[in-house]
Structure 1
Amino acid sequence: MGKPLEPLKVGIVGAGNIIAAYLETFPKLDAVRLVAVADLDRSRADAIADAHPGVRSLSVDELMADDEVELVLNLTIPAAHAQVALQAIAAGKQVYGEKPLAANTEQASAVLEAAKEAGVTIACAPDTVLGTGTQTARRAIDDGLIGTPISATATMMTPGHERWHPNPDFYYVPGGGPLLDMGPYYISALITLLGPVASVIGAASHTRASRTIGSGTRQGESIPVSTDTHVTGVLVHESGALSTLVMSFDAVATQAANIEIHGETGSLIVPDPNRFDGDVKLRTLASTEWETLPVSAGYVDASRGIGLQDLAMSGTDAAPRASATLAFHALEVMESVLRSAHTGQAVTVESTCERPRAVPLTELTVPV
């Protein structure tokens, strides 16, 4: 696998808040180049193009028809992910999208099928798992430092996004909630570390019928809650390992590690999967203290968009590590946890995926 002869030319659809993080990353990437941007609000696309020489402002239809654009970076709202991906696939373009792959697995299935028929590559965030934090933990597991993995815990506890988000309504309706909002980071990390999931058992609740917005022009306004705000699940991995997942917008705080992995001979503390870096700590049967492991794998100093570089570098030799099949599997796991919570029965996860290839320790080369 080598660097492509020419950078993969990227057009962005969607110029909302998340685009800023990607624009900061592009200068670090030598295998991709941003050439165009489109948004339903043309003024936002114009502002990006004006600030970035060589980037053109286009309408969505113009971007899809543009021969220079080889890959569409889909940064639209989740409800539009499938529609934009299908439009790009129909135009013969590769797609990299923000999480989730689609609003639900039915829409995501249509995207996967269309990509297969068209023979184009699609990939999906989160790409945080490609950074040194999760990948160093993955290396420790693969090197046998904890023996055979037995279990994991994954914990995300917050008092709710309405405390800081000026328009938090979508977090508290079906399709929102802590699991679908933050679950992709945690579940993608668990699959990267322990492999795909075979079945799940879930339970869920919500403690308040309304939330009060804490900032912005709507501060003090009450909004209704119509989705679960505390979700617990047990994920049974195909390997036999068991992961316990707790995602909450109802808690105040926690001192629990974001992710812990436990094996026969040792335990790992894994850093926040919403970050690319962080310390990995190991304690074994032979030790009495936690040891911080040296960084040993992953893209160094990575940030949002490193998945585009990984896709471009993979070429035709292998699937991108942030693959659409991984994103689909993670989405089905989340839907299955919620279905189990509502039915009171264990749910078999029908899909599977390959455990993504490990990322060797890789320094990014900033283009000259």
Structure 2
Amino acid sequence: MTENQGAGTSGTVGARAYLEQMVRRYYASLIDAWHYAGDPEKAMECAAAAVRQGVWDQPFQRAREHIPGLRARPVHDAGEFWFTAYLEENYPLIRAEIEQVLDTPLDPVVPTTDDAGLIRKGAWKQAHLYRDGRWQTRICSRFPVTTGILDKVPDVTALSPGVITVSRVSPGTHIMPHCGPTNALLRIHLPITVPPGVSIRVADREMRWQEGKCLVFDDSFEHEVHHRGTEDRVVLILDVLHPDLAGDHQERLLRRQRNFEEQIVAFMRERGLARVRVRDGEIALTPDDTVRQLVATYLSGTGITGAELDGDQVRWERADASAGAPR
């Protein structure tokens, strides 16, 4: 094979991989939209169609980044991981510290921004002790005992590109069905406080947490949370690499950890922003040339000079009127 032939083959493979990723992304967005609209039957019809077309192997597991060859189990045996017993042994210390911090002036657990779109009703709060490959110093200072315990588990820190999070869900909350972005990670829940009436569904299994007992599941499978109880549910969330992951996949996943600056740049590029700025508490976003031209094209000849979204309502600004009625 000549050098040019090799390059051509490599380019073809790369293009194919990119197209497959785009197809997964669009299918996942469509399925999420049906779930958001409250129509799970249409969501599963789309998932089944994707399986028929070879996008995914099964309708409940829909990772946008799918690594072939990994065992596909919605729920894993917690006993397969050495550190789950260690976490459970230290559960009384972890719980005591978390309960001591919650609802105090030092409480860092705040409404989630990363996953806000998944909340159909109710409230979901989070505080990340570990993310982007590093301890979050301010949060960890509120939980020194818990941080010290977890620091002895490299599987969920140095050897994982995931997060360690205190997660708090209020009564009446519904977190809509969704799938994690990759099948290369497993998610571990150490339940801190679990009142009656709270459940999690992973694929077609509905389960209830047991305080102090680790639950290990593959969050690339569809999962959702219902809180029909009367008190907050608190869980410590940890991520670990899938035990079947090895070699280049593992190294690439660990190298992909991004710092805050890299996340900001990725956020801007994904949304077509040329500049973001916070001044006097106000956030200003400046679109790049592509988005600017797209908006100009949409508004050209319509008489519309602006639009403002408020939930399901839209307020139009027109050249012949200061504002249009919401609709």
TM-score between the two structures when normalised by the length of structure 2:
0.29
The structure with higher relative contact order (CA 8 Å, sep 6+) is: 1
TM-score between the two structures when normalised by the length of structure 1:
0.26
